[in-house]
Structures are given as structure tokens and as C-alpha cells.
Chain A
């Protein structure tokens, strides 16, 4: 049973560029959440997707957007990259939108130069 998988694992971008990160949830899970983890910090909630819609959003600007597909996989898009967007981006899935335990992927490490 595959867990949460994310791609790519590492990537380097320059300021102003756009990036797309991908996530496949754990089998049987229908809800995907994205978190940003800056170096030395705890994960910060970006948003949650359920039934292909953004259901809840944290304190992140509109440059951060996402999508969920019918097979429950998800993408995180970040436009107009800033140096401060450099972080580990974690995808977490759960089988219940409100009460499910979060299962995390290993993350995508984004470096913005």
C-alpha cells in the first residue's frame, strides 16, 4: 500500500518563476492538505482540497493556488516566486475531511534563487 507520494523531491527556481508540485494521496484517502515548512520551523497550513474544491485556506497569498483531480491527486502552484518561498512543501492526506489523521509525504524541497 503506497503512502503519500510527492514530486519532484528537489527543485531550484529563480525569483519570478512559477512552480507546480504534485501529490498522490495514500490509497483510500480523499482529502489532501498542503503545508509549507520553512527551515527550522513547523509546518504551516496552506490549504485543503476535498471533492476537487478548496475547502479551507491558511494565511497565504493568492500566489499559492491548487487543484485536486478526480483521482484525489493534487497540485500546488506558486506564481511569482519570492526568495521567501524557499521551503519544504509537504502534502498530507486523510480519509476524513474533518477528523482524519494526517499522513505526510516526504516533501518537495523548493529553493528560490
Chain B
């Protein structure tokens, strides 16, 4: 079945450091891929998405490229800020017709950025 595997945390970085959070997926067909972020005490918010191979999603300085050949969707940011401290979830949605809007989430990676 469909699944997502993402890098386990927690990850601790200094401000302005480079961030990579790895995510790989297993899916039937060609899924859409997402990164969601969960700040403390809040629900999940969409960070970025990509709907087909080689697409690059970007938002707030974060980027991820949909790599079909490696079944990956790694999240990157060139210079993290303290305000980026949160839990990041990689997710996929299958494109099989009529499966509904079921998302499969990874286990989440906790990021702490220290000044």
C-alpha cells in the first residue's frame, strides 16, 4: 500500500544553518506530494506541494522537488530561523480515481532552531 518514510528527528540546528529533511514514498501510480508543518499547539498547515514529477514546490524559503526516479520529496531551506521550529510532515495523496482524498503521512520530524 501507499506509505511515506521520513527522516526521524529530532533535529536541532543553529539559526541560519541549512536544513534538509529526507522523505521517500511508496505509491501506486503517481501521487501528489506535500509537506505540512505543525507549530506547537496548532493544527497542520500546508507548507508546499508538488503534483507531478520534477515539479518543485516552494513557500517561505522552503523547497522540495518531486523526484520520481528516487521516489523522494526532500525538504530543504537554505537558512533556518528560530520561527521555523516545528514538526514537519511529509505526505502523499494517491491519484487513483475515486479513492477519495486520503492522505498518507510520515511520522514527522521535529525541528528546533536555536539562536
Contact = CB atoms under 8 A, between A and B. Distances in A.
A101 interface: yes
Contact of B101 (A41, A48, A104, A105): A48
Interface of B: 4, 36, 41-46, 49, 89, 91, 93, 97-108
A90 B44 contact: yes
A106 B41 CA distance: 7
B100 A48 contact: yes
A69 to B, nearest CB: 19
A101 B46 contact: yes
A97 to B, nearest CB: 6
A42 B89 contact: yes
Given A40-B107, A42-B106, A98 B43 contact: no
A40 B98 CA distance: 31
Nearest to B107: A42
A107 B105 CA distance: 16
B92 to A, nearest CB: 11
Contacts of A33: 101-103
20 contacts: A35-B103, A40-B107, A41-B107, A42-B89, A42-B91, A42-B105, A43-B89, A43-B105, A45-B102, A48-B101, A50-B100, A56-B102, A90-B43, A92-B103, A98-B99, A102-B103, A103-B46, A104-B44, A105-B43, A106-B41
A97 B100 contact: yes
